[in-house]
Amino acid sequence: MTKEVIVAGFGGQGIVSSGIILAYAGMFEDRHVTFFPSYGAEMRGGTANCSVVISSSPVASPIVAEPDVLIIMNEPSLLRFEPRLKPNGLLLYNKTLIKSEPKRSDITIIPVPANAIAEELGQGRIANMVMLGVLAKKTGILQLATLKKAQRIRYKKASEEQLSLNDQALERGYSFL
Amino acid sequence: MKLIFGRPAGLTDVKQRYCPGCGHGIVHRLVAELLVELNIRERAVGIAPVGCSVFADEYFNCDMIQPPHGRGPAVATGIKRARPDCILFSYQGDGDLAAIGTAETVHAAARNENITLIFINNAIYGMTGGQLAPTTLPGMRSTTSVQGRDIVKQGYPIKVCELLAGLDGPYYLVRCAVNTPKNIIRTKKALKTAFQNQINNKGFSLVEILSMCPTGWGMTPVQAKKWIGEVMSKYYPLGEFRNLAKEEK
Amino acid sequence: MAEKRLMYGNHALVEGIIYAGCRFFAGYPITPQNEVPEYMSIRMNEVGGVFLQTESEIAAINMLFGAGAAGVRATTSSSSPGISLMQEGISYIAGADIPVLVINIVRGGPGLGNIAPAQSDYYQATKGGGHGDYFTITLAPNSAQELFEFPKLAFELAEKYRNPALILADGLLGQMMEPVEFTFEPIDPGKLPEKDYALTGCRGRPRRVVRSYDLRPGKLEELNWKRYKKYQEIIKNEQRYETFNDKDAGLIIIAYGTCARVASAAMKMARDKNLKVGLLRPITLWPFPKDKVAQLSERIKDFLVVEMNCGQMIDDVRMATQFRSRIHFLGRPGGGVPTPPEVLKKIEEIMGGGR
């Protein structure tokens, strides 16, 4: 089993953190993982993306050309990455911030009002956690509990208050479907 | 028979190949005497430049290294940081220290690296045959300025002590000469101070030494000594440009 | 089994250097390797080592010359343009037979090029690089794990043969995160053997001289032949590589570093399509694993060389195969990184669909 995931959005939406949390969670579940951030000058342009590969066998290439799963947090990223998704792939997108509709009919599409849900918890910026919760539920590739453990490693300097809010966002995503 | 003057233990038995009247032999002797007098010969690592004194690695009776042209201060830094107990001296000519190695010189000074630079300024490229040096005086002839250094086309010489005195870093900057017995004694005193600074972990010392190159200058040894006194030391005034020990007192 | 840590390749490299007992680092900032000196400055401070941000790559490599000559393990890290600046120093270091470690996180070139991953410094790394007859031992990691492990290997080889060693990686390997297992105990630099060439002051022994020149008639020629013998020893003993699926392969991909990762993915895709594809990954680029390639070329008709350049390692493959096999090439110069489907497409072109 190999799942190749691309997470994409604006800088500040926790794109890189989402990828790293997925990689940690994969590692905690004894999978082979790689994480690769969008590169160099691209990072300064305000958009960010990263590739994560989670696999039961050693990961060949960390570069994901055609992902199995897309987590799309903003409009430009939808336009850019939707065509690259594998046939029968899974597209999760942030319905709160993306007004366009995905165009493809050969993929599974799940709109998630991620920012709206995060705002209900009092913090828009944890929309990424909501998305990871949805991903865990929909694909079953990672346990909710492992994601909770992983976010605590990623945000090890955060307050307990913040960490439990992140947990709640993961849970809300997990129970969204 | 009683020996009253001999080769200091800081020099090897190798016969030196410098031209008659060259200042290198004098400075070598001063450094070698100090290696013994300060009891640092067995802690010393010397650095020979690229230039006439490239063979200094055969002449000084201590551990020696011969790095790329101009990089003495960087190599000295590497050794000093790796082996802080060693006493480092980088022996360099004007092309080595003030042309190709300017950056290494300036930055070692800025870091106040705890090393000693011995800078032989003879205003000419000796080894390669007498070309224009960064310290060749305005109007002075060289094989690449046969009409004399034209400051419009070839710019001005670099006054290293004055240049480095603009930095906060260096601990001791001094310019001496070896054209007269009195100046030789002063040079030895300056070199001693420079080594003592390093022994006492004070930091960067540079001793610039105006030195004769009769061959490169087209003069007799006697004329060359006279020229330092009458011409060269007017452009490059002798004296201390920085001595933080005095400020500490 | 040691605990696994998820780490950036560049950070794994730094830990590998510290674990290898290196306590001396000098370098100048350049993208895409800035995480190396940044993290190194913190780690050297923690372990009481030397960290120097220098005025140039020229100063950095010469500080390494000094530290290496003083007998300690010393490392610098840079990227392509900076490595070009270091070539003079590397030549002197090779000429003085001093072991040091130089890291090149290769970027697109020539000139300022760009900051994307590349393999265009292969010639420079494996054919000498600077002036004179010399070679540098060159290792090509392809994972964060190897970035951790190779500094130790590089120092061991460098010291065994008294020769500078290079690690050639790229920004992709450095910026990627992977689990890393700390497979060996950290080396205590105080317990490394004393070097009989080290400049430490001549107390109780004859003085030592470290130099790369010899102007006596015939002597430098002698010295070069002596060093040539050393290089022949290295070529004989130290060719390192990995092979996958080479037993039944009709086509073998040859690729190192990042390209080997991509090629390995393409190989799996090809196998899924019943295409008998194998992979040879050179781990030492110098010495190039020519013996293995030569042996394979006795029965493999097609080799596909994949590189992030216009074709450099391919020359070593050509020489090793003695033109017995057909050699195909997929290259992405200037910072391009091939994708597995791209490599698969090339494989299909060569093998003509299922075979």
> Does the beta carbon of A29 lie under 8 angstroms from any beta carbon of chain C?
no
> Bridge-partner residues for C280, per DSSP?
C243, C254
> Does the beta carbon of C27 lie under 8 angstroms from any beta carbon of chain B?
no
Q: Which pLDDT value is given to residue C352?
A: 85
Burial class (CB in 10 A: 0-12, 13-18, 19+), C340: buried
With a CB cutoff of 8 Å and minimum separation 6, the contacts of B25 are: B16, B18
Q: Which pLDDT value is given to residue C1?
A: 55
Q: Which DSSP letter does residue B230 get?
A: I
Question: Which runs of consecutive H residues, i.e. helices, occur in chain C?
Answer: 9-19, 35-47, 57-69, 80-95, 122-126, 144-161, 171-175, 219-237, 257-272, 290-297, 313-321, 340-351
The yes-or-no verdict on residue A76 having pLDDT over 80 is yes
The yes-or-no verdict on residue A45 having pLDDT over 80 is no
- pLDDT band, residue A9 (cuts 50/70/90): very high
How many Cα atoms occupy the beta-carbon half-sphere of C20 within 13 Å?
29
Q: How many CB atoms lie within 10 A of CB B213?
A: 26
* C297/C317 Cα distance (integer angstroms): 10
Which residues in chain B touch residue C64, judged by CB atoms under 8 angstroms apart? 78
Nearest CA in chain B to C214: B55
Residue A34 and residue C171: Cβ atoms within 8 Å? Answer: no
Which residue type occupies B70?
Answer: G
Q: Which pLDDT value is given to residue B45?
A: 98
Instruction: Return the minimum-mean-pLDDT range out of A40-49, B141-150, C27-36.
Output: A40-49
Domains of chain C, by residue range, sit at 4-200+227-235, 241-351
Q: Which two tokens stand for residue C297?
A: 């070329």
Q: How far does the CA of residue C50 sit from the closest CA of chain B (Å)? A: 7
Nearest CA in chain B to C200: B86
More confident call, A45 vs C50: C50
For domain B24-248, give the fold: Rossmann fold (3.40.50)
Nearest CA in chain C to A53: C178
> Does the beta carbon of B87 lie under 8 angstroms from any beta carbon of chain C?
yes
Residue C207 and residue B67: Cβ atoms within 8 Å? Answer: no
Q: How far does the CA of residue A174 sit from the closest CA of chain C (Å)? A: 25
Domains of chain B, by residue range, sit at 24-248
* B39/C317 Cα distance (integer angstroms): 58
> Does the beta carbon of B35 lie under 8 angstroms from any beta carbon of chain C?
no
Q: Which pLDDT value is given to residue C353?
A: 56
Residue C268 and residue A36: Cβ atoms within 8 Å? Answer: no
Nearest to residue A22, comparing CAs of A12, A10, A36, A11? A36
Widest Cα–Cα separation across chain C? 73
Please state whether at least 3 CB pairs lie below 8 Å between chains A and C: yes
Q: Which CATH architecture has domain C241-351?
A: 3-Layer(aba) Sandwich (3.40)
Q: What is the CATH number of the domain that holds A83?
A: 3.40.920.10
Residue A61 and residue C171: Cβ atoms within 8 Å? Answer: no
Q: Which two tokens stand for residue C236?
A: 């004989």
The yes-or-no verdict on residue A82 having pLDDT over 80 is yes
Residue C202 and residue B63: Cβ atoms within 8 Å? Answer: yes
The overall average pLDDT reported for chain B is: 97
Cα first-last separation, chain B? 47
Residue C65 and residue B75: Cβ atoms within 8 Å? Answer: yes
Burial class (CB in 10 A: 0-12, 13-18, 19+), B244: middle
* B155/A31 Cα distance (integer angstroms): 67
Q: Domain count for chain A, please give it.
A: 1
Of A27, A60, A66, the CB nearest to C268: A60
Q: Which pLDDT value is given to residue A12?
A: 87
With a CB cutoff of 8 Å and minimum separation 6, the contacts of C142 are: C173, C256, C257, C258, C260, C261, C281
Please state whether at least 3 CB pairs lie below 8 Å between chains A and B: no
Q: Which pLDDT value is given to residue A39?
A: 53
At C92 the three-state DSSP class reads helix
- pLDDT band, residue A38 (cuts 50/70/90): confident
| Ordered strands of the C241-244 beta sheet | C241-244, C277-282, C251-254, C302-307, C326-331
Residue C213 and residue B79: Cβ atoms within 8 Å? Answer: no
Give the residue-averaged pLDDT of B56-77: 98
For C4-200+227-235, give the CATH class: alpha beta
Of C32, C177, C264, the CB nearest to A61: C264
Which residues in chain C touch residue A24, judged by CB atoms under 8 angstroms apart? 6
Q: Under a CB-based contact definition with an 8 Å cutoff, are residues B33 and B10 in contact? A: yes
Per the document, the length of chain A is 177
The yes-or-no verdict on residue A80 having pLDDT over 70 is yes
Q: What parts of chain C have a pLDDT lower than 70? A: 1, 353-355
Which residues in chain C touch residue B44, judged by CB atoms under 8 angstroms apart? 201-202
> Bridge-partner residues for A8, per DSSP?
A49, A72
Residue range(s) defining the domain that contains residue A47: 2-174
